[in-house]
Amino acid sequence: MDLDDLHGLPLFSGTDDDQLRTLLAVGSEVRFEDGDVLFQENHPAEHWWVLLEGRVELVRHLGTDETRLGAMDVPGRWAGGFRAWDEHGAYLATGRAATGGRVLRVPADDLRSLWSAHFPPGLSLAEGVSRSARNYETMARQREALAALGTLAAGLAHELNNPAAAAVRAVDALGEAHVRMSSALRGLAAVTVTADGFARLDALREELGNGPPVDPVTLADREDELADWLSRRGVADAWQSAPALAEAGADTEWCERLTEALGPTGLEPGLEWVASTLSATTLLGEVDEATRRISDLVSAVRSYAQLDRAAVQQTDVAEGLESTLATLAHRIPPEVSVVREYGTPVPRITALPAELNQLWTHLIDNALDAMHGRGTLRVAMRADRAEVVVEITDTGTGMSPETRQRAFEPFFTTKGVGEGTGLGLDFSRRIVERHRGEISIRSRPGETVLCVRLPVTGAGSPGVPPTG
């Protein structure tokens, strides 16, 4: 390769021969044949490629699909070299030869030295543009992610509020039940109930609450019968005691045995004591259920955020999916049914679980948006040889061919400002690629499937290049 190869290229117009000789001294000629891959997307852009002859297609892989972005088909067109001004620069596409030909290849470090020696302002300008573009993208994603975090926090607060409010109501009612129980005990003491009588009363109490459930009509008839029986015997507020007693299984025969154990004067305080203890037991169950729900939510959030675990670890994918579904429970409308299809056995994978949970959040959130409040969300997982396959399926309207083709492009979105999680499918693709996996889309009217394939040995494994 000599100066004649560079003369006449518009790229080098205005460049004198001495400068071209310097460029040739650090560069090298690379000949290629049809099908050769010159450089690969997402790999460090450590060389600058200038086309001299032939045609090089620029393609990008989206999961199992391949998209053509353009071509180097005119001598003088170039690609790569970004590391000359950006230490994190990577190839944006894969360069694959469509014909035979040749290119000039210049190492990025040497290209930087040439810029510094002959046109320092140009290098500063390129560095500034690259840095600004990266900073603007980072700031935009951070703002969207913070907005999404606020939405997630509000949803979690809503989920916690329900069981917390139930616990507060149950505790208040428990206090009232305790007051009634104390009043009943004072009443029993006033009628001088014997130890044997109180033991029989407690045995009668234990009989209640163990019977089979009854239908509403039978229960209503039992309440009316009890209320009439109690009213005829002068029990105050019989209408208030009868429902609780009837629901627990008490009938008039049970009340007759209570009267026999305590005597006519002990009937009313005895019934009050039994009713208050039954109420206290029920309320304690409500407190237990509410606090257990709060504990489950906290555990789900801890698992989702991975706050107390190492970055790269052996990860249970099903656990991450479940914690994500629990965290997003407030986003799932009543008209959306969630179907889980977890195959067994599914091995643990080497992964960054916090990043995977971000991935599941975005895919599930997208699926919910696509269904507009009604449909079926299917979360499936299975083992496939040395991979774990996760599919998130919605029954929305589906994607158009154009949307499906562009779905993984940076900055591409079909959502309005402030909608979604702030993590586009491009970001999701990067998470999957960090785990050496693949993500793809299948869509038709009435069904869209996001399929993620993750190798069992993924992030942090030997031979996995870091990504910037």
The reply to whether omega before 347 is within 30° of 0 (cis) is: no
Virtual torsion, Cα 309, 310, 312, 313, nearest 10 deg: -60
Residue 338, pLDDT score:
95
Residue 422, pLDDT score:
39
Residue among 320, 437, 441, 429 at smallest CA distance from 384:
437
Strands 47-53 and 78-80: antiparallel
Q: Which residues of the chain have pLDDT under 70?
A: 62-65, 118-152, 155, 158, 300-311, 410-424, 458-468
Residue 120, pLDDT score:
66
Residue among 52, 47, 49, 48 at smallest CA distance from 7:
52
Residue 362, pLDDT score:
86
Report whether 36 contacts 70 (CB < 8 A): no
Q: Which residue segments constitute the domains of the chain, with CATH numbers given?
A: 3-118 (2.60.120.10), 158-294 (no CATH), 310-455 (3.30.565.10)
Residue 208, pLDDT score:
87
The Cα 455–Cα 436 span in angstroms is 7
How big is the chain, counted in residues? 468
